[in-house]
């Protein structure tokens, strides 16, 4: 199968045609013509490497009413993703080779993105005993990222042991940094606003204390640490310090933490309840700057679908989490590109190359160049549209961007040369 993409702008730069053949980029050049190829008109569209998400909740097995591997994969493809890491907090928890292989196989069957399972660090996410990390790494799913996300690996001795194990596996511990003793009952960012709204606060120090501890442990062990959904200015400072000392630490920020603040809690709409919580304007500014600088390596969605009965309740009983896959690139365009903080090569680095490298993925995160796997997307950067939750491919509706106008529309996505999205619609 051959696809000839006509008139795209790779990385937003000079116009070129891109030929996809046998799953690879066969050529990039002027006025290519190939008899029999399917032609895609890409005039005015930016071509970028397929996006890679380090942090997606697909909810299968266990909560197929909120999302399945297939519906989440479709949402991902529509967002321009060609690979997503599926978080381990499913039911049963992905803490054995059997469960990670099941998730991996479901991803292969859906065939829309490469679904890369994350393995739990501890059995049942209980934070007491290490899970079978080696067996998950050796399984067909080839797990390299281990996380108890949703829960912090709070016990420092256990965290140290986990770092020692993943070092031997060329893996990484992705920590949900939240000191649980400081966030008992927490509902939103701790500050003036939480006091006024009467909601229990989640202090920035609960995140920063764990990151500070863990970069010291990672440095001591000589292992790789990844910090999930960094949300505070102080966390960026600690990461900058750790990187300057040579600690092998990487970090991600979510689209929602780049765009939204705790002001969203004013209406007590649980759509805006998320963990870690939305923070202040100063935090948003520091996160954007940290991502531009590269202290924060990646944008990761923390796509967290929830069923209506878990989300449309009073604030205190609602589950934390928000959808992200379908709007992530648009939010990055709004917060990082349109503001001049990142160019398109920077977007490709933070949303594709670096997350692929952190996850040790082969075949993703590569440059748009002849010979490389044909994983790429076409974006119309000029279109602005109002987000309609009813139109999302996700099985859930908890988008914090509902009713908001955002720039950029993913027109097409290709996985190994095969279109998963064309004309803005999923092909399967
Ligand atoms: O808001 C969140 N939702 N944060 C997490 O850490 C977990 C996630 C979920 O699984 O819903
Ligand atoms: Zn988390």
Q: How many whole angstroms separate alpha carbon 396 and alpha carbon 183?
A: 27
Q: Tell the residue nearest (CA) to atom 6 of ligand 1.
A: 150
Q: How many whole angstroms separate alpha carbon 248 and alpha carbon 226?
A: 8
Q: Tell the residue nearest (CA) to atom 3 of ligand 1.
A: 321
Q: How far is the CA of 62 from the centre of ligand 1 (A)?
A: 15
Token look-up 């899970």 returns 131
Measured from the Cβ of residue 41, the count of other Cβ atoms closer than 10 Å reads: 13
User: Which candidate, 410, 405, 412, places its Cα nearest to that of 388?
Assistant: 405
Which spans in 245-280 are helix H?
255-259
- The confidence score (pLDDT) of residue 248 equals 99
**Ligand 1, atom nearest to 150 Cα:** 6
Top mutation candidate among 150, 176, 229, 257 for ligand 1, by most atoms within 8 Å of CB: 150
Q: How far is the CA of 128 from the centre of ligand 1 (A)?
A: 20
Pairing of strands 172-175, 225-227: parallel
**Residue 69, both tokens:** 């591997």
**Ligand 1, atom nearest to 176 Cα:** 6
Q: How many whole angstroms separate alpha carbon 59 and alpha carbon 73?
A: 12
So where are the chain's domains? 2-46+372-426, 50-358
Taking each helix axis from N to C end, the angle separating 204-221 and 233-244, rounded to the nearest 10 degrees, works out to 10
Q: How many whole angstroms separate alpha carbon 243 and alpha carbon 200?
A: 33
| Cβ atoms 162, 123 nearer than 8 A | no
Top mutation candidate among 120, 302, 305, 399 for ligand 1, by most atoms within 8 Å of CB: 302
Top mutation candidate among 176, 304, 311, 318 for ligand 1, by most atoms within 8 Å of CB: 304
Q: How far is the CA of 148 from the centre of ligand 1 (A)?
A: 11
Integer angstrom CA distances of residue 394 from 56, 252, 375: 12, 22, 22
**Ligand 1, atom nearest to 273 Cα:** 1
**Ligand 1, atom nearest to 151 Cα:** 6
**Ligand 1, atom nearest to 87 Cα:** 10
**Tens-level pLDDT at each residue, the chain (428 residues):** 899 999 999 999 999 999 999 999 999 999 999 999 999 999 999 999 999 999 999 999 999 999 999 999 999 999 999 999 999 999 999 999 999 999 999 999 999 999 999 999 999 999 999 999 999 999 999 999 999 999 999 999 999 999 999 999 999 999 999 999 999 999 999 999 999 999 999 999 999 999 999 999 999 999 999 999 999 999 999 999 999 999 999 999 999 999 999 999 999 999 999 999 999 999 999 999 999 999 999 999 999 999 999 999 999 999 999 999 999 999 999 999 999 999 999 999 999 999 999 999 999 999 999 999 999 999 999 999 999 999 999 999 999 999 999 999 999 999 999 999 999 999 99
Asked if the domains 2-46+372-426 and 50-358 are classified in one and the same CATH topology, the answer is no
- The confidence score (pLDDT) of residue 300 equals 99
User: Which candidate, 346, 371, 421, places its Cα nearest to that of 18?
Assistant: 371
Residues with CB under 6 A from ligand 1: 57, 89, 149-150, 176, 274-275, 304, 319-321
User: Nearest ligand, CA of residue 320?
Assistant: 1
Q: How far is the CA of 303 from the centre of ligand 1 (A)?
A: 8
**Torsion angle defined by CA atoms of residues 342, 287, 391 and 53, in that order, rounded to the nearest 10 degrees:** 80
**Torsion angle defined by CA atoms of residues 364, 366, 367 and 371, in that order, rounded to the nearest 10 degrees:** -90
Q: How far is the CA of 231 from the centre of ligand 1 (A)?
A: 14
2-46+372-426 fold: Urease, subunit C; domain 1 (2.30.40)
* CA geometry: angle 125, 184, 234, nearest 5 deg: 90
Exposed / middle / buried, residue 185 (Cβ in 10 Å: 0-12, 13-18, 19+): exposed
Exposed / middle / buried, residue 206 (Cβ in 10 Å: 0-12, 13-18, 19+): buried
Q: How far is the CA of 178 from the centre of ligand 2 (A)?
A: 9
Task: Tell me phi and psi for residue 175, to 5 degrees.
Answer: -90, 130
| Residues involved in catalysis | 302
Q: How many whole angstroms separate alpha carbon 197 and alpha carbon 280?
A: 15
* CA geometry: angle 342, 345, 349, nearest 5 deg: 90
Q: How many whole angstroms separate alpha carbon 207 and alpha carbon 230?
A: 8
User: Which candidate, 176, 177, 85, 64, places its Cα nearest to that of 136?
Assistant: 85
**Which CATH architecture best describes the domain 50-358?**
Alpha-Beta Barrel (3.20)
**Secondary structure (3-state) at 74:** helix
| Cβ atoms 28, 370 nearer than 8 A | yes
User: Which candidate, 159, 161, 186, 158, places its Cα nearest to that of 175?
Assistant: 159
């Amino acid at each position: 199968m051959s696809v000839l993409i006509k008139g795209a702008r790779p990385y937003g730069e000079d116009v070129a045609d891109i030929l996809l053949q046998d799953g690879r980029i066969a050529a990039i050049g002027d006025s290519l013509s190939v008899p029999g190829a399917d032609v895609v008109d890409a005039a005015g569209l930016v071509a970028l490497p397929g996006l890679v998400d380090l942090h997606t909740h697909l909810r299968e097995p266990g909560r197929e009413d909120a999302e399945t591997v297939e519906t989440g994969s479709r949402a991902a493809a529509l967002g321009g993703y060609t690979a997503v890491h599926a978080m381990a907090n499913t039911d049963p928890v992905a803490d054995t080779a059997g469960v990670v292989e099941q998730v991996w196989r479901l991803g292969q069957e859906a065939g829309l993105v490469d679904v890369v399972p994350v393995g739990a660090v501890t059995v049942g996410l209980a934070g007491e005993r290490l899970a079978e990390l080696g067996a998950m790494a050796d399984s067909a799913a080839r797990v390299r990222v281990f996380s108890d996300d949703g829960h912090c690996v709070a016990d420092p001795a256990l965290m140290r042991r986990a770092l020692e194990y993943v070092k031997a596996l060329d893996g990484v511990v992705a920590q949900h940094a939240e000191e649980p003793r400081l966030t008992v009952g927490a509902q939103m960012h701790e500050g003036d606003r939480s006091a006024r709204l009467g909601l229990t606060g989640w202090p920035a120090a609960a995140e920063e204390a764990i990151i500070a501890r863990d970069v010291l442990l990672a440095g001591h062990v000589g292992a790789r640490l990844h910090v999930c959904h960094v949300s505070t200015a102080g966390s960026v400072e600690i990461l900058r310090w750790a990187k300057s000392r040579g600690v092998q630490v990487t970090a991600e920020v979510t689209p929602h933490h780049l765009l939204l603040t705790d002001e969203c809690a004013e209406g007590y709409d649980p759509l805006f309840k998320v963990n870690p919580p939305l923070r202040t304007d100063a935090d948003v500014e520091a996160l954007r700057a940290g991502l531009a600088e590269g202290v924060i390596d990646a944008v990761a969605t923390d796509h967290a679908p929830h069923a209506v009965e878990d989300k449309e309740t009073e604030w205190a009983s609602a589950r934390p989490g928000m959808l992200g896959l379908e709007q992530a690139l648009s939010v990055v365009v709004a917060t990082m590109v349109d503001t001049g903080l990142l160019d398109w090569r920077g977007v490709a680095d933070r949303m594709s190359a670096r997350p692929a490298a952190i996850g040790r993925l082969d075949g993703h995160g590569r440059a748009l160049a002849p010979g490389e796997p044909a994983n790429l997307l076409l974006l119309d950067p000029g279109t602005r549209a109002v987000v309609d939750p009813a139109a999302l491919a996700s099985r859930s509706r908890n988008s914090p961007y509902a009713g908001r106008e955002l720039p950029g529309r993913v027109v097409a996505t290709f996985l190994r040369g095969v279109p998963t999205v064309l004309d803005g619609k999923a092909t399967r």
